[in-house]
Amino acid sequence: MSKKAKKTKKGKRRWSLDEMRLLLKYRTDGLNNSEIGKKFGRSEKSVKLKIDSLNKDSIVAPKPKIVKLKVDATPASEALFPTEADAKPFFAGRKISKRYIVLAAATVALIAAIILERLI
């Protein structure tokens, strides 16, 4: 630390701004209170009290939690991943497919007529 923290009348060291910035950084990096205390040469309780006081001022973000995801074949997870049974065919039946073919043929005929008209 570049600046030494001043001592109070009781002999306790005050937290400098640099120490508080590093405390926030270490906290977001996931270090626990005892690891942070060792880095600053302070007790675990001192670190906890400082974090609690900063929490009251809404300065400290909560410590990140590690979440383990469990994937199994339950109805909830089956709803997330579609199966072959969920697939819908593009053409629902012969009537619809015939309509698409007639529509496509009519479109091609129209385009051919426009091209021939411009050539003549």
pLDDT in tens, 18-46: 898 888 888 888 888 999 999 999 999 99
Where are the extended beta strands (E) located within 1-120?
A: none
**Which of 43 and 82 is assigned the larger pLDDT?**
43
| Partners of 7 in beta bridges | 13
pLDDT at 56: 77
Q: Does residue 80 carry a pLDDT above 70? A: no
Q: What letter represents residue 3's amino acid? A: K
Element (H, E) at 40: helix 33-40
End-to-end CA distance of the chain: 87
pLDDT for res 1? 46
- What is this structure's pTM? 0.44
| Token reading at 15 | 């937290």
Any idea what DSSP says for residue 120? -
pLDDT band of 91, cuts 50, 70, 90: low
Check residue 17 and give its pLDDT. 87
Q: What pLDDT does residue 72 have?
A: 58
Tell me what percent of the residues of the chain surpass a pLDDT of 90. 21
> What is the predicted pLDDT for the residue at 93?
61
Q: Write down the pLDDT at residue 113.
A: 92
CA distances from 17 to 10, 32, 96 (A): 20, 20, 72
Determine the residue type at 85.
A
Instruction: Show the tokens assigned to 103.
Output: 């529509």
Fill in the amino acid letter for 42: R
Among 30, 23, 34, residue whose Cα is nearest residue 60: 23
